[in-house]
């Protein structure tokens, strides 16, 4: 992989080989910001679904469609990127998010405490464990991992879709972690059966 930096207004980025997998066709991306966003981190943490942020740590971590993303004051890193086009799109999207949050900072309630974490195992334990494959995954564990990585949504599980109120605790935890949950499980909503 060539190590040249791609310059854009407000940031530069480049792709790097994954050190532990030299033969991999996947890459990590390092995005360097022109200006520090250290003071913006609590506001970004408020709008990034499912991120992990401890105020004062200077780091936001988030899963986004299978990518592990780390955000610091002057750098954003992305894992498991396929090519330069995907890297460009991720960098552009996150830089746009930074701009949007900066422009509406007065309307965002910043996060100054640790958010609740939800693990793959917790999601798996709350699933019906039928391994029915109706979600498109071969096992409930694979589906739980897909939900955790935000590659799929929880309502893709047929048993949960059929009886969402039975799984209210799972939906509540997912919502606290920034996951999209079915409307039928939100307070004041009833299923139309």
Strand partners, 53: 60
The pTM of the full predicted model, rounded to 2 decimals, is 0.66
- Look at residue 1 in the predicted model and tell me its pLDDT: 46
Across the chain, what does the average pLDDT equal?
85
pLDDT digits (tens, 9 = 90+) for 113-157: 665 567 888 899 889 889 999 999 999 999 998 888 778 888 889
- Look at residue 101 in the predicted model and tell me its pLDDT: 96
- Contacts with 188 (C-beta within 8 Å, 6 or more apart), sequence order: none
pLDDT digits (tens, 9 = 90+) for 22-46: 666 788 999 999 999 999 999 999 8
What average pLDDT does range 6-19 have in this prediction? 89
How many Å apart are CA 99 and CA 146, to the nearest integer? 29
Domains and CATH numbers, the chain: 6-107 (3.30.310), 120-185 (1.10.15.40)
């Amino acid at each position: 992989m060539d190590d040249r930096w791609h310059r854009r207004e407000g940031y530069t980025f480049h792709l790097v080989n994954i050190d532990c997998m030299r033969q991999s066709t996947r890459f990590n991306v390092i995005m360097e910001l022109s200006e520090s966003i250290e003071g913006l981190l609590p506001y970004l943490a408020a709008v990034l679904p499912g991120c992990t942020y401890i105020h004062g740590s200077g780091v936001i971590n988030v899963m986004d469609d299978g990518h592990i993303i780390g955000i610091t004051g002057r750098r954003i890193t992305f894992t498991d990127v396929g090519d330069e086009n995907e890297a460009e799109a991720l960098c552009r999207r996150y830089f746009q998010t930074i701009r949007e949050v900066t422009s509406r900072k007065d309307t965002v309630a910043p996060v100054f405490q640790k958010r609740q974490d939800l693990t793959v195992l917790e999601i798996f334990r709350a699933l019906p464990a039928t391994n029915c494959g109706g979600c498109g995954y071969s096992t409930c564990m694979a589906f739980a991992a897909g939900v955790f990585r935000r590659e799929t949504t929880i309502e893709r599980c047929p048993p949960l879709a059929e009886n969402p109120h039975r799984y209210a605790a799972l939906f509540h935890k997912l919502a606290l972690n920034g996951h999209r949950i079915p409307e039928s499980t939100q307070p004041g909503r009833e299923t139309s059966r």
